[in-house]
Structure 1
Amino acid sequence: MAKAYDVPADILIAKLAEILKGENIGKPEWANFVKTGSHAQRPPHEKDWWYTRCASVLRKIYLHGPVGINDLRAEYGGSKAVGYAFSHHRDAGGAIIRNAIHELEKLGYVEKVAGKGRVISHQGMKKLDRLASEILDELAVQNPLLKIYS
């Protein structure tokens, strides 16, 4: 059985976003109008960026858990130009990550550990591992050398 770090992240996140959209994960009303952080100049162009961000947060918690919201803010942040000086790092918006984590907790994919942050639950780990196995099987059809990993 494949794990989430055995398959390419972009493929895993895209398929997981489609699954989360089908499970009716809650999307805030303000999600269409907000920037992802002070480093961003505009809101995301993609219409369903919320589901992609939720999938990405779930994958990051799987790989690096336990993690807190501030850790994820720093991870999703970026650089912002400051006049003629060098660029400085700005953290991402906390409300986006916080709401994504709350929605994932409602679905039972993430659990809170007192004083340490969030970790992935057994149900969330099972969902990601099964999805990773499906992706690896699809990739093995395209490249037969990958069959040894599935």
Structure 2
Amino acid sequence: MTTVYDVPPHDLIAATALELKAAGKVQPPVWAEFAKTGVNREMPPTNPDWWFVRSASILRRIYIDGPVGVSRLRTFYGGKKRKGVATGTFAKGSGSVVRESLQQLEKAGLVRKLKKGRQMTPEGQAFLDGIAHKVASQKEASIAPASEPAAESTA
């Protein structure tokens, strides 16, 4: 049985983003093309599918960290805020992006709300484990067995 822990995060998040987009479980809000992902950013993301990638990443984070709230996810997606000549400090990521994504994942039935944050549903866990299994099987298929070197003639 392949789980989320057995595959590289980047590959899992990319595959999950494609699956979320294809299934129509998550839709970017109208403001998403103009929104920054935090006060520490200067520009909005350049990837047109960034909403699906962030939603997939949030889903993976909830799977790994258990019940997790908006504040903790904001901290995870934060970064260094540059202040010119002054020393840079840490700034949290956008709460609106995290909150809206969590609400959409709740509607899709992948996440449920608790008193202390959000938790994976059994359907959400099966969804991510299924994608992890697909990613792992694709990795195994792409790794070709090493061919034996050709015998050199000693003429």
The superposition leaves residues 19-57 of structure 1 with CA deviations (integer Å, 9 ceiling, x where unpaired) of 111122222100000110100010000111101110000
2: distance between equivalents of 1:46 and 1:54?
Answer: 14
Q: Which runs of 5+ in 2 are unaligned?
A: 146-155
Residue 86 of structure 1 aligns to a residue in which SS? Answer: strand
1:56 is matched by which residue type in structure 2?
S
Cross-structure match for 2:51:
50
Alpha-carbon deviation of 1:108? 0.2
Residue 40 of structure 2 aligns to a residue in which SS? Answer: coil
1:5 aligns with 2:5: yes
Alpha-carbon deviation of 1:79? 0.2
2:33 is matched by which residue type in structure 1?
N
Cross-structure match for 1:61:
62
1:110 aligns with 2:121: no
| Segments of 4+ moved more than 6 angstroms | none
1:127 is matched by which residue type in structure 2?
F
Cross-structure match for 1:148:
none
Number of matched pairs: 144
CA RMSD of aligned residues (A): 1.3
Structure with more helix by fraction: 1
Cross-structure match for 1:31:
32
Residue 27 of structure 1 aligns to a residue in which SS? Answer: coil
After superposition, residues 53-92 of structure 1 pair within 5 angstroms as 53-92=54-93
2: distance between equivalents of 1:50 and 1:141?
Answer: 29
1: distance between equivalents of 2:144 and 2:73?
Answer: 36
1:3 is matched by which residue type in structure 2?
T
2:137 is matched by which residue type in structure 1?
D
2:79 is matched by which residue type in structure 1?
G
Cross-structure match for 2:129:
129
Alpha-carbon deviation of 1:85? 2.5
Q: TM-score, normalization: structure 1? A: 0.92
1:54 is matched by which residue type in structure 2?
S
2: distance between equivalents of 1:41 and 1:119?
Answer: 32
- Determine what percentage of the aligned residue pairs are the same residue: 40
Alpha-carbon deviation of 1:93? 0.8
Alpha-carbon deviation of 1:142? 2.7
> Which is greater in Rg?
2
Q: TM-score, normalization: structure 2? A: 0.89
Alpha-carbon deviation of 1:102? 0.3
2: distance between equivalents of 1:61 and 1:89?
Answer: 22
Alpha-carbon deviation of 1:144? 6.6
Alpha-carbon deviation of 1:5? 1.4
2: distance between equivalents of 1:90 and 1:144?
Answer: 45
